[in-house]
Amino acid sequence: MFFTYLRRELRRRRKAALVVSMGLALGIGLVLTVTSVSAGMKNAQSQVLHSLYGLGTDITVTKQASAGQGGGGQQFGIKRSGSGTQSSSADRLTVSPGTATLTSAQLATIAGQNGVSAAVGSLLLNDFKFDGSFKLQGGTSSNSSGAAGSSGAGGRPSGGEGGQGGTPPSGQADFNLNTFTIQGVDTGNLTLGPLSSLKITSGVNFTSAQSSALVAVADASYAKSKKLSVGSTVTISGSKFKVIGIATASSGSSTANLYIPLAKAQTLADQKDRLTTVYVKATGSQQIAAVKSEVQKAVSGTTVTTASDLASTVSGSLSTAADLATNLGKWLSLAVLAAAFLISSLLTSSAVNRRVREFGTLKALGWRSKRVIGQVMGEALVNGLIGGVLGIALGLAGAAAITAFSPTLSASLGSSTANSGPGGGPGGGFGGAAAKAAQEVSVHLTAPVTVASIGIAVALAVAGGLVAGGFGGWRASRLRPADALRRVE
C-alpha cells in the first residue's frame, strides 16, 4: 500500500517532484565539483612536493651552520711567471655556505628511531671550476684570485697588477668560472632520496655494486646544455666520470646537475662520512609527527622537515587556485546547498498545503499522523534520491570540464630553512630543492571524482530528502480531519 500510493503520487505530481529534485541536484552537483577540485589541488601539491623532494620521502633532516661557519668565497692560487700564453685550471668541491654537515653516526641514530622504516643520506656539493689563460710580457708574479667573487665568465681584468716579490708583469688574462651542483647518492637504496623522483630516460641507473665507481647520472636539462650523452665523460676534481644515464624530473627541475656515488663525492670533497641531507621514510603516516619529535631530540641542532611543513610554502597560481577552491568554493557550495534544502522544504510544505483535503480524508479513514508523516517523508526521500542522481551527473560533468579545459598552473616553493649556495646549489630542505624557489613547476589541474565524494553526494541527497520530508510531514501532522475536510483543494 505504501509503495503503491507513493508511486502514484509521484507520477501524478511529476513536475513538482522534478522541481524539488533539480533544486537539490544543483546544490549537490556544486558540492561534488568543489570537492573534486579540492582533491585535484591536493594531488597537484603532492606532485610538486614529490618532484622536488623525492617520492617516498616523509621527513628530511638537515643542519644549518652556526654564525661564522661556512661562509666566504672560494680561493684559487694562480702562479704566473715568464712570458707568453700560459693556461691554468683549478677545481673546488664545497658544501654550500650556511650548511653544516651531519655524520654517518648521526644517520645511524636517525635510522634507529622508532617509526623509521628507512633512512639514507646524501651529500650536495657545489663544484667551482676555474679555467684561465694568461698572456704575459716579462716579470714574475704570484697571487691568489678569489674566483667566487669574480664578475663571471669571460672577464678580462687588466694585467698591470703589482706582484709579490717580483717584477710586475704586463699583459692580460682570459678566464672562465663554471659552477654546477653535484649530489652524492646512496647507490644501495635508490627508492628513497633525490633520485627516487627522477626517471631515467636514457641509459641506466646506478647499481649497488657501483658505490665507489667513477660513474655519473646527469640531469636532462644540464646534459642538454653541456651536450652530454650516455657514454660521455665529465671531469670532477681531476677524476673522469662516465655518464651512464640521463635523468628527467617528472615536473620542475632536479636538485642537482650531476649525481655520483656518495662514497666518491665524500672522497673528492674531503668530506669522509659527512652528509648534508638525510631522507627518512616513516613506517606510516600516523608516525610522522612522532618520528620528527624523536629525531629532533636524538640529533640536536638539526632542522627536521616534513612534507606537510613545506606544503604551506607552495606558492604561485596553484596556491591561489587552491585558496579559491578551499575558501570561496567551500562557502559558496554550502550556501547553495543550504538554499537548495530550504527551497526543497518550502516546495514540499507547499505541496502538503495543496493536499490538505487528501490528507484529511486519509486521516478520516483511519490513517494516523505517523503514517501520513511517513508517506510525505517517503515522497520527499525519493525526490532527494532523484536529485542526488542528477547532482552526481552534474558534478561529474563539471569535474570532466575542469579536467579538460583547466589551464596549466604554476607552483614554486619558498625556503625558510635553508640557504642556497653559489650556482643555485641548494643548502637544505627536502633534498635542498626548497632553495630553488625561483624555478617554477608547471602542473595540470585535474578534478578527480572519488568514491568518498560520491558518498558525500548520496548522503546530501538523503539528508535533503529527510529535511524536506520532515518539514512537510510536520505540517501534515498538524492537520485535523474535520478542519481538512472543510477546505477545498
pLDDT at 154: 38
pLDDT at 23: 80
**What torsion do the CA atoms of 330, 333, 338, 342 make, to the nearest 10 degrees?**
170
Measure the CA–CA gap between 281 and 287, rounded to whole angstroms.
10
Q: What is the pTM of this model?
A: 0.56
| 81 within 8 A of 143, measured Cβ to Cβ | no
HEC string of 146-214 equals EHHHCCCCCCCCECCCCCCCCCCCCEEEEEEEEEEEEEEECCCCCCCCHHHHEEEEEECCCCHHHCCCC
Measure the CA–CA gap between 16 and 355, rounded to whole angstroms.
13
Cell numbers representing residue 256 in the block: 642537482
Measure the CA–CA gap between 415 and 325, rounded to whole angstroms.
25
Give the C-alpha distances (Å, rounded to integers) separating 108 from 120, 271, 272, 374, 389.
9, 17, 15, 67, 56
Provide the residue type at 112 as one letter: G
Core vs surface per residue 191-201: b (16+ CB within 10 A) or e: ebbbbbbbebe
42: Cα separation from own chain's centroid? 8
Which residues lie closer than 8 Å to 357 by C-beta, 6 or more apart? 484, 485, 487, 488, 489
Measure the CA–CA gap between 334 and 306, rounded to whole angstroms.
32
Ranges assigned E (strand) in 225-353: 233-236, 239-249, 258-261, 274-275, 277-282, 303-306, 314-315
What's the number of CA atoms in the CB half-sphere (13 Å) around residue 333? Answer: 24
Listed as ranges, residues in the chain with pLDDT below 50 are 55, 71-72, 140-165, 415-439, 488-489
Cell numbers representing residue 148 in the block: 667566487
Residue of 344, 379, 352, 367 whose CA lies nearest to 475: 352
pLDDT at 446: 78
pLDDT at 134: 63
Measure the CA–CA gap between 318 and 252, rounded to whole angstroms.
14
Measure the CA–CA gap between 209 and 206, rounded to whole angstroms.
8
pLDDT tens by residue, 312-348? 555 555 556 566 666 666 677 777 778 777 877 777 7
Cell numbers representing residue 239 in the block: 677524476
Cell numbers representing residue 370 in the block: 505517523
| 95 within 8 A of 135, measured Cβ to Cβ | no
pLDDT at 182: 93
| 473 within 8 A of 466, measured Cβ to Cβ | no
Residue of 25, 29, 43 whose CA lies nearest to 321: 43
Residue of 418, 422, 419, 414 whose CA lies nearest to 439: 414
Residue of 107, 134, 126 whose CA lies nearest to 118: 107
- Residue whose grid cell is 602542473: 443
Residue of 371, 280, 299 whose CA lies nearest to 106: 299
Helix (H) or strand (E) holding 94: strand 84-94
pLDDT tens by residue, 87-126? 667 778 888 877 889 999 999 999 999 989 999 999 999 9
Q: 203 in the Ramachandran plot: left (φ > 0), alpha (ψ -120 to 50) or beta?
A: left
CB atoms within 10 A of CB 55: 17
Measure the CA–CA gap between 18 and 15, rounded to whole angstroms.
5
| 445 within 8 A of 409, measured Cβ to Cβ | yes
What's the number of CA atoms in the CB half-sphere (13 Å) around residue 247? Answer: 27
